[in-house]
Amino acid sequence: MLEAMLYQRLDGKAVKCGLCARRCMIQPGKRGVCRVRENCNGTLYTLVYGKAVSYAADPIEKKPLFHFHPGSRAFSIATVGCNFRCNFCDNWVISQEEEILGEDFPPELVVSEAITQKCKSVSYTYTEPTVFFEYAYDTARLARSSGLFNTFVTNGYMTPDAVELIAPYLDAATVDFKGSGDPDFYRELCGVPRVEPIFESLAAMRSKGIHIEITDLIVPWRGDVRAHFKRLARWIVDNLGDETPFHILRFFPSYRYEGGGPSVGSLLEELWTEARAEGLKYVYLGNMPGHARENTCCPSCGEVVIKRVGFEVVFTKLKGDACSYCGKRLNVKV
């Protein structure tokens, strides 16, 4: 166990965690909502430091990050725990696990494995990296000093203080929306009381110059999917810029939520058109391997500059970060 970062001691040995926007008040002997931070006699500890429950060398496209070193590999790690309770979580076996499982995998070993497996980056993913922040932070510092990049795949529910701390070492983040940020959706299906902190942390990441890509999982439910989607697309254009890569993800029933089946392809196509109409230049359809909307097209000449099938890059037609056909510079880190 390691003493946690970002918490306050309160009267009577209670503590208040400041890592994510839940800001849990935790009494002695109790844990926060994420189940992996425990108050032991007035000191907050992380229970998952160096305890990887899952790790693998993945294509970076799997995160998904389509505009950050395309075709490279990301050494990916996770611990148990999450600050959300999504009824449809794909990774619920580890995110909702109540026991502290995992094997000892200290930061030094993560970095040396990443190098051995020819990865360009370390990705903190599968579950929510905010809740294993100290492990991610130490690994990220070491990875950076070894010439590797660092990327988070996150629900975005971290505090501005957490963003501030990790920002010097964080190169890119995929921020995952579900239900297009509809507050009712988050309350009912994810157990999350407010969505505003997600937008605040995105703005903080943007101000720190972190490369951002957004996903939106289109889950069929009773809410007005189109209206919330349009609002999210507009917010991205206005606050993150029209060059922000935006991935519209197909939903498949998982865990406790069927949602009447997978999201319908024609709806996803319609939303793709809507996002483009709002001004976003790089819009993708995800969880639809082989679909033409997996490719990156130059917003100036329309040619395919990165062709993908699923997570595999088939070819790139880039000259540095520019389209090799017309020379337009693209928002791609290479």
Residues forming contacts to ligand SF4 in the complex (CB under 6 A) are 17, 19-20, 22-24, 32-34, 37, 83, 130-131
User: Which position's Cβ is nearest ligand SF4?
Assistant: 32
In the complex, minimum distance from the CB of residue 41 to ligand SF4, in angstroms, rounded to a whole number: 17
Q: Measure the CA angle with vertex 56, ends 3 and 139; round to 5°.
A: 30
Q: Which of 116, 87, 100 is nearest to 50 (CA)?
A: 100
C-beta of 156 vs 220, nearer to ligand SF4: 156
In the complex, minimum distance from the CB of residue 133 to ligand SF4, in angstroms, rounded to a whole number: 7
CB 96 within 8 A of CB 82: yes
C-alpha dihedral (260, 85, 18, 130), degrees to nearest 10: -80
CB 225 within 8 A of CB 249: no
Q: Can you give the length of the chain in residues?
A: 334
C-beta of 22 vs 51, nearer to ligand SF4: 22
C-beta of 79 vs 130, nearer to ligand SF4: 130
* CA 193 from centre of chain: 19
Structure tokens at 1: 């166990």
Whether the CA torsion 241, 243, 244, 246 is positive or negative: it is: positive
C-beta of 77 vs 225, nearer to ligand SF4: 77
C-beta of 121 vs 130, nearer to ligand SF4: 130
In the complex, minimum distance from the CB of residue 32 to ligand SF4, in angstroms, rounded to a whole number: 2
CB 283 within 8 A of CB 295: no
In the complex, minimum distance from the CB of residue 210 to ligand SF4, in angstroms, rounded to a whole number: 20
Structure tokens at 91: 């990774």
Structure tokens at 297: 């097209």
In the complex, minimum distance from the CB of residue 219 to ligand SF4, in angstroms, rounded to a whole number: 22
Pairwise CA distance, residues 136 & 9, whole Å: 23
C-beta of 6 vs 236, nearer to ligand SF4: 6
Give the helix ranges, DSSP H, for 38-106. 92-95
Which residues are registered as beta bridge partners of 5?
none
In the complex, minimum distance from the CB of residue 205 to ligand SF4, in angstroms, rounded to a whole number: 17
In the complex, minimum distance from the CB of residue 314 to ligand SF4, in angstroms, rounded to a whole number: 40
C-beta of 198 vs 298, nearer to ligand SF4: 198
